[in-house]
Chain A
Amino acid sequence: EPEVTQTPSHQVTQMGQEVILRCVPISNHLYFYWYRQILGQKVEFLVSFYNNEISEKSEIFDDQFSVERPDGSNFTLKIRSTKLEDSAMYFCASRTAMNTEAFFGQGTRLTVV
């Protein structure tokens, strides 16, 4: 069964360092998303991406964050200068069409020390 895959599963980084989280969405999907979940809190929307551009972003997604779809399969989230409060699970998701269900990857646990 097709699935969204994310790498790495766990990333530990020093505060101020750049990190890139990687995702391979399901192949025929057109809409791509990043969400995050701080330990014990809700899953929060970060950004949506369609037709090679950002379609929506939340107030969390500031200038420190960027997304790319560098080729036909990968979708990346870059955090330029990590802060302690960026520590969270980051989930990638994809869907075929606007109103259909989104499928989530297993997440990358980011720990900023």
Chain B
Amino acid sequence: QKEVEQDPGPLSVPEGAIVSLNCTYSNSAFQYFMWYRQYSRKGPELLMYTYSSGNKEDGRFTAQVDKSSKYISLFIRDSQPSDSATYLCAMSVSRGNQFYFGTGTSLTVIP
């Protein structure tokens, strides 16, 4: 069983839509949760970082962690064509230790 499961998509939405991206995981020891955005032919860049359970909001982006269900989500409000990218979730047990990544979800926002 993979440590982290993520639906690869692809996901296609109209501009202005609310997007929900999700990951599930099997290791209950994960405490640090991240979302990365990767544009085509670029390396991943950090979008959101969350410790333990709860919500974190940054502009149009909200990261949600439910440790009881081993489920994390990234919500994008008022999606824009510039949000078109692959979104990867990542998690780790402790700070500075090995990261485990999902496969990434490909998102296209249509103008």
Q: Do A and B come from one complex?
A: no
Give the A-binding residues of B (Cβ under 8 A): none
Binding site for B on A (CB under 8 A): none
